[in-house]
Structure 1
Amino acid sequence: LIMTAAVADYQPKSVAEAKIKKKDSPGLTLELIRTPDILAEVKGNFLKVGFAAESEDLVKNAKQKLEKKQLDIIVANDITATDSGFGVDTNKVTLIDRDGKVDSLLLLTKIEVADKILDRVVGLIKHR
């Protein structure tokens, strides 16, 4: 199971039963609650790969997510980098597996990054 992102981190606490008319409400406050973490909750005898978008303590925070969600691999993205990640065709990620192996990849195309992730997945499957 490879999950690249959460469906949503938050959801509205309540939903209006009917359309809210502008004339009836000069302003609104939207209260949000956390959504369930699907990747953390899914169980089974299969490989789990997750992603972590981080702005600080990349490896430390990614390792914590790997352990908390009981993942086999986590792909950590440094979202502060301007030449990789969101909005560009390249990415520079760090792959961390459950055995503690940490590989910081060079700047690659996203297709090359996907290949590296799949190579790691295949390697773990072969050693199961």
Structure 2
Amino acid sequence: GGEAGLGRMAEPLEIVAAAEAILKPGARPLAGHHVLVTSGPTHEPIDPVRYIANRSSGKQGHAIAAAAASAGARVTLVSGPVTIADPAGATTVHVETARQMLEAVEAALPADIAIMAAAVADWRAAEESDAKLKKDGTGTVAPLPLVQNPDILATLGRHHTLRPDLVIGFAAETNDLKAHAEAKLRSKGADWILANDVSPETGVMGGDDNTIHLVTTSGVEAWPKMTKTEVAARLVERIADRLGKSGSGA
């Protein structure tokens, strides 16, 4: 049957997820909850061959989606362009641009928990050129007016009718980490912000490790350096703790 059909081996990650569910049948604290996750970068077209992007790999968002699925949640992952496999147990929606990501996020509502881990481009070209923009040899600076992309985290945080009970955002910063994260918590209407230093020397963007500061209205909690898989597991544990204390995601 080629790549699909009876007799084909399931994807390795799917086998691992199934084995974990059998071996840890009681460890499903998010069962009955819908978790919405965004991951990866967005690509904002300039012309048919160029785009505005960033160095996000999607590793952290995909790890969170996998951890939530392993914890029993129904997971919708909205992923920008990445080179890693879709996580087992999640329904993955692939998008390219910030506007497409917002549309997919809104289409996935209602959700109990939203974790906006994607590194969405703040800006896009005001107009996408139909033809490749070429230099003319004069040294003239190419005109490239930019406009702001929609703010997906703020849209969810302030949603009047379908706001998830728990809205979690990320703050990828290169300076004044805690101050920027605390400001983002207030301005976006989020419940939690996971702040991380993505300066080039940290290796966080595209790397396997992360160092998180969990920012809430109660204060700032510094997590030690961990793999992104470990960060995802700890985040799911914290979410489960909140659900257990409140009886819901509120």
Paired residue for 2:221? 103
Report Cα offsets for 1:36-56 as digits up to 9, x if no partner: 101101221421110001111
Residue 145 (structure 2) aligned to one of 25, 28, 31: 31
SS at match of 1:122: helix
Q: Does 1:92 align with 2:211?
A: yes
Separation (CA, whole Å) in 2 of partners of 1:100 and 1:84: 29
Over 4 Å off, 4+ runs: none
Residues paired across the two proteins, number: 124
TM-score (norm 2): 0.45
Paired residue for 2:131? 19
**Structure 1: segments with no counterpart, 5+ residues:** none
Report Cα offsets for 1:78-122 as digits up to 9, x if no partner: 12373451132111110112x323211111111111111112222
Paired residue for 1:46? 165
Change (3 A) 1:83 1:54: closer
Instruction: Indicate the percent of aligned positions where both proteins have the same amino acid.
Output: 35
Change (3 A) 1:92 1:6: closer
Paired residue for 2:20? none
Separation (CA, whole Å) in 1 of partners of 2:237 and 2:153: 21
Separation (CA, whole Å) in 1 of partners of 2:133 and 2:186: 46
Change (3 A) 1:125 1:11: same
Separation (CA, whole Å) in 2 of partners of 1:21 and 1:7: 24
Paired residue for 2:232? 114
Paired residue for 2:18? none
Separation (CA, whole Å) in 1 of partners of 2:143 and 2:226: 42
Separation (CA, whole Å) in 2 of partners of 1:74 and 1:35: 20
SS at match of 1:125: helix
After TM superposition, give the deviation of residue 33 of structure 1 in Å.
0.8
